């Protein structure tokens, strides 16, 4: 058990994309016997009833439940209302979980564990775990909270809000320059021997860093700031 922990902690620094963090959360599922872990963005809830899941990792033999990427949660939801104003991890009973997670079609009668997370930029997330009652009794809550915080910290600075990074990387600059030449993502992918997905990821990161919403604005902002001529 301790070897798995050491392994997944040492891999946090190497995580660079969504899948790497999915892998980390999945290892965390296996280590703590959690059926499902979901990292949810609570910033606009309950004004907006839809909560976006940044990452959902499932380690269950029940198969793949559909559509957990966006959850529609009413403002009366007991667990989410509590988490919204809380900073401490908490374990929830079967009954409380059943009332608040009626959308989950996975293992029967799970209990929930919640880890509220506040980012350095005052964004509010929660890591929700669903697990069997027999396993939740053995869960070392403080240790699991610490591990979830370590993963989140890296996830936040690497993927969720990369604009907190100070500079544009050489690869991002290449994508920026070719975008300014009017090339499409597919054309840039061929030129740089990358996938279209990677090119789109670089484009999205640059747009976040320059705080713009589309390619035209990105190119204009890059020229204004002297990134490209």
Partner 1 sequence: MNTQATKIKLLFVDDDPTEFDIMKRLCRDMDHQKIDLVCRHSVEEACEVLGEQDIDMILLDNQLMMDDDFRSSTPKLRAQHYTGPIGIVSSNVRTDYFQDIEEYGADFRIGKDELDRQTIFYIINEFAPKNVV
Instruction: Indicate which single residue of 193, 224, 226, 229 sits in contact with partner 1 (rule: CB under 8 A).
Output: 193
- Three-state secondary structure string covering 179-210: HHCCCCHHHHHHHHCCCHHHHHHHHHHHHHHH
Q: CB-wise, 9 or 141, nearer to partner 1?
A: 9
Residue for token pair 């020229």: 223
Shortest Cβ distance from residue 126 to partner 1 (Å)?
19
Helical axes 185-192 vs 170-180, angle rounded to 10°: 130
Contact status: 16 vs partner 1 (CB under 8 A): yes
Give Rg (Cα) of the chain. Answer: 20
Shortest Cβ distance from residue 142 to partner 1 (Å)?
26
Within residues 39-68, the interface with partner 1 by CB under 8 A covers 56-60, 63-64, 66-68
Cα(150)–Cα(28) distance, integer angstroms: 12
Binding segment toward partner 1, per CB under 8 A, in 84-92, 121-129, 137-145, 189-197: 189-197
Contact status: 166 vs partner 1 (CB under 8 A): no
Shortest Cβ distance from residue 71 to partner 1 (Å)?
12
Shortest Cβ distance from residue 23 to partner 1 (Å)?
6
Torsion on CA atoms 188, 194, 197, 201, rounded to nearest 10 = -80
């Amino acid at each position: 058990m301790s070897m798995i922990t050491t392994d997944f902690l040492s891999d946090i620094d190497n995580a660079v994309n969504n899948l790497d963090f999915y892998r980390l959360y999945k290892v965390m599922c296996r280590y703590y016997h959690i059926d499902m872990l979901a990292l949810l963005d609570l910033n606009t809830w309950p004004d907006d009833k839809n909560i976006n899941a940044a990452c959902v990792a499932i380690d269950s033999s029940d198969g793949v439940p559909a559509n957990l990427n966006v959850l529609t949660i009413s403002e009366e939801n007991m667990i989410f209302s509590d988490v919204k104003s809380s900073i401490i991890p908490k374990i929830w009973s079967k009954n409380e979980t059943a009332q608040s997670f009626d959308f989950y079609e996975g293992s029967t009668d799970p209990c929930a564990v919640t880890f509220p997370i506040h980012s350095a930029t005052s964004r509010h997330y929660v890591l929700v775990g669903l697990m069997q009652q027999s396993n939740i009794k053995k869960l070392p809550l403080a240790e699991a909270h610490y591990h979830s915080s370590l993963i989140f910290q890296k996830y936040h600075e690497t993927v969720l809000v990369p604009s907190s990074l100070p500079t544009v990387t050489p690869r991002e600059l290449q994508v920026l320059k070719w975008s300014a030449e009017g090339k499409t993502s597919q054309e840039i992918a061929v030129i740089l021997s990358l996938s279209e997905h990677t090119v789109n990821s670089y484009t999205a990161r640059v747009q976040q860093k320059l705080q713009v919403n589309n390619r035209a604005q990105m190119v204009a902002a890059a020229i204004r700031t002297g990134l490209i001529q």
